[in-house]
Amino acid sequence: MPRQARLDAPDTLHHVMVRGIERTTIFRDDRDRAAFVARLADLATQGALSVYAWALLPNHAHLLVRTGTRPLARSMRSLLTGYAGAFNRRHKRVGHLFQNRYKSLVVEEEPYLLELVRYLHLNPLRAPVVPTLCALDRYPWTGHSALLGTVARPWQDTRTILRQFGPTPTRAKRAYRIFVGAGLLQGRRPELQGGGLIRSLGGWAAVAALRRGREAYAGDERILGSPGFVEQLRREVEIAHPAPARRLALATLVGRVCAHVGIAPDALQGGGRTPAVTRARAGIAYLWVECLGHPGRPLAPVLGLHPAVVYQAARRGAAQAREWEGLLTRIRKTT
Picking from 124, 109, 225, 95, the residue whose alpha carbon sits closest to that of residue 161 is 109
pLDDT confidence of residue 295? 83
Class of the CATH domain delimited by 13-186: alpha beta
pLDDT confidence of residue 17? 92
Residue span(s) of the chain under CATH 1.10.1750.10 come to 248-334
Superfamily for the 248-334 domain: DnaA protein, C-terminal DNA-binding domain (1.10.1750.10)
pLDDT confidence of residue 213? 35
pLDDT confidence of residue 132? 96
pLDDT confidence of residue 11? 79
Picking from 27, 20, 39, 193, the residue whose alpha carbon sits closest to that of residue 100 is 20
Residue span(s) of the chain under CATH 3.30.70.1290 come to 13-186
pLDDT confidence of residue 320? 87
Q: What are residue 3's phi and psi, to 5 degrees? A: -70, 150
Q: How far apart are CA 50 and CA 48, in angstroms?
A: 7
* Average pLDDT of adjacent 10-residue blocks, the chain of 335 residues: 54 90 95 97 94 96 90 89 94 90 82 91 94 96 98 97 96 97 77 43 38 36 63 60 59 93 89 88 90 84 87 86 88 81
Q: Which residues contact 185 (CB under 8 A, 6 or more apart)?
A: none
